[in-house]
Amino acid sequence: MADLEKRDLVSIEDLSQAEILELFHHADEFRANLLAWSDLCRGTIMATLFFEPSTRTRLSFESAMLRLGGGVITAADEKNTSRSKGESLADTVRVVGGSYADILVVRHPEDGAARVAARYARVPVINGGDGAHEHPTQTLCDLYTLWKEKGRLEGLEVVLCGDLRYSRTIHSFCYALARFRANIVTMPYPGFELPDYVLHRLRRDFGVQAAAASVAELPGLAGSSNAAAYLTSSKPHQLALFTNLTNVEVNRIDAIYMTRAQRERHSGEDTINYPRLTRSTLGAEAAKDARVMHPLPRVDEIDYDVDDDPRSIYFRQAELGVPMRMALLAFLLGKIQLRAARPALLSVMPGMAAGAGLRCRNERCITNNEGVRYLNGDFRLRDGEVPPVLSCAYCEREIEARFVGHSQSRVAHRYNAPEARRIKAELRVYFESETQAQAAGFQCASG
């Protein structure tokens, strides 16, 4: 596969809505007879490079490739990889994505790591979860499950409950639900609300409007309802009248998506009153037709005695992951073609070198950890933002640049100064502050 034809799945936005729906139909074909496809990818090899623990994601991908007739090589324990010797992710994927494997699935603890893998590997890369950033294949499985259960995605009322701050699954799922014009009700555990950068992106990129939500009584989850919010991109007329003091009454729920506390990404937070879904929760009128979902593994947030309720579909989610990932692998390997158009703007848009300027403010970003050794700052300039807003090309965290420097004259001006506007794009260096510009050796013009 030539580099120019390579498609990666780093973010859920690497697939258009039409492509996602078409992949659902292919997944249905694979699921109808999982044993009938053993010649489709014969001779191809998938490498699973997992630098974080995983059971379902890794085994689901490996099962999918084996059912397609391909082979699997795996690095499932970070301690037994060259990373423990100090090898960079970039070097690992260049080696494994050479003659070793035809497609890579990467899981890594640092935000933006999947983008690094996609940039350095010659073969397609699938993000199996990068830090607290995204988990797009879990989102594909979640959307596929909802689509099969409800027959549609648009207009669904989906409650997200628990740890919404550190769950990469939730972040990808939010972006996808907004694109399909589903409505999102957030019921976070206090202190675990959706990050501001996720909310900002939902507003800017998907036209999502937010209002306080009043959720019908859901025993076990009620402790989260004080912070409930209603996020919608469908823009009904009445939303134009909402203020922060106005509640949206939520009395019908199509799905409750539970998440565990992501303890591996935080320490010391009290979760003693973490929400817990029980039979009483499912006895509420609002949950009458709701489906209970969970990306797994669960800890204590769903009682075991609700497993046999037909509305509990989290094990079906896991089962549907195999045909969904079969469809994705076959597509990225060029074994099936999609008629649907690509996204208008793939998330692999080229960025701009930061030069002596910006540094990503996300301490979990790969550029501030492993990538310090070999990655230069790389940012994408958002069109039409004043002051200029740049997002990290790896983890997508955004920064406001209030000073613009000239790379040759080494003089920096405030972003709104006439001199700043006259600097050619290829000569611009962006800074958050005057102090940052001076530290980089730039003289700041007065005024």
Mean pLDDT within 299-325: 94
Token pair, residue 411, equals 């003089």
* pLDDT the model gives residue 385: 79
Has residue 375 got a pLDDT over 60? yes
* pLDDT the model gives residue 173: 93
Which of 299, 332, 365 is the last residue before a domain boundary?
332
pTM above 0.85, yes or no: yes
Is 359 found in the same domain as 239?
no
Q: E strand or H helix at 269, and its extent?
A: none
User: How far apart, in whole angstroms, are the C-alpha atoms of residue 221 and residue 162?
Assistant: 9
Give a yes or no: residue 341 inside a domain. no
Is 144 found in the same domain as 70?
no
User: How far apart, in whole angstroms, are the C-alpha atoms of residue 307 and residue 304?
Assistant: 6
Length of the chain measured in residues: 447
Give a yes or no: residue 46 inside a domain. yes
Has residue 213 got a pLDDT over 90? no
Which of 276, 304, 332 is the last residue before a domain boundary?
332
Question: In angstroms, what CA-CA distances link 343 with 130, 205, 335, 352, 384?
Answer: 22, 13, 20, 21, 21
User: At 157, which CATH number?
Assistant: 3.40.50.1370
Give a yes or no: residue 417 inside a domain. yes
Is 227 found in the same domain as 306?
yes
Question: In angstroms, what CA-CA distances link 407 with 223, 354, 404, 418?
Answer: 53, 11, 9, 17
User: Per-residue confidence at 305, pLDDT binned at 50, 70, 90?
Assistant: very high
Mean pLDDT within 197-210: 88
Token pair, residue 172, equals 């990808």
pLDDT tens digits, residue range 227-255?
788 899 865 544 444 444 457 888 889 99
User: Per-residue confidence at 264, pLDDT binned at 50, 70, 90?
Assistant: low
Give a yes or no: residue 120 inside a domain. yes
Give a yes or no: residue 246 inside a domain. yes
Token pair, residue 317, equals 């989610």
Cβ(79)–Cβ(23) below 8 Å: no
Is 301 found in the same domain as 181?
yes
Give a yes or no: residue 145 inside a domain. yes
Is 180 found in the same domain as 149?
yes
Give a yes or no: residue 395 inside a domain. yes
What one-character DSSP code corresponds to residue 299? S
pLDDT tens digits, residue range 100-151?
999 999 999 999 999 999 999 999 999 999 988 889 999 999 999 999 999 9
Please name the amino acid found at residue 32: A
User: How far apart, in whole angstroms, are the C-alpha atoms of residue 44 and residue 47?
Assistant: 10
- Cβ atoms within 10 Å, residue 246: 13
Is 299 found in the same domain as 384?
no
- Residue, of 270 and 319, whose pLDDT is higher: 319
Is 174 found in the same domain as 130?
no
Q: Helix %, strand %, coil % for the chain, to 5?
A: 35, 20, 45
Is 167 found in the same domain as 308?
yes
Is 93 found in the same domain as 188?
no
User: At 380, which CATH number?
Assistant: 2.30.30.20
Question: What's phi and psi for 116, nearest 5 deg?
Answer: -60, -45
Q: In what order do the strands lie in the sheet with 255-258?
A: 247-250, 209-215, 229-232, 183-188, 157-162, 255-258, 291-293
pLDDT tens digits, residue range 319-365?
999 999 999 999 999 999 999 999 876 444 455 566 567 889 899 99
Give a yes or no: residue 347 inside a domain. no
Which of these ranges, 2-6, 273-277, 396-400, 426-430, has the smallest mean pLDDT? 2-6
Which of 283, 312, 341 is the last residue before a domain boundary?
312
Number of independent structural domains in the chain: 3
Is 302 found in the same domain as 187?
yes
Is 46 found in the same domain as 20?
yes
Domain of 128 in residue numbering reads as 3-135+320-332
Is 126 found in the same domain as 150?
no
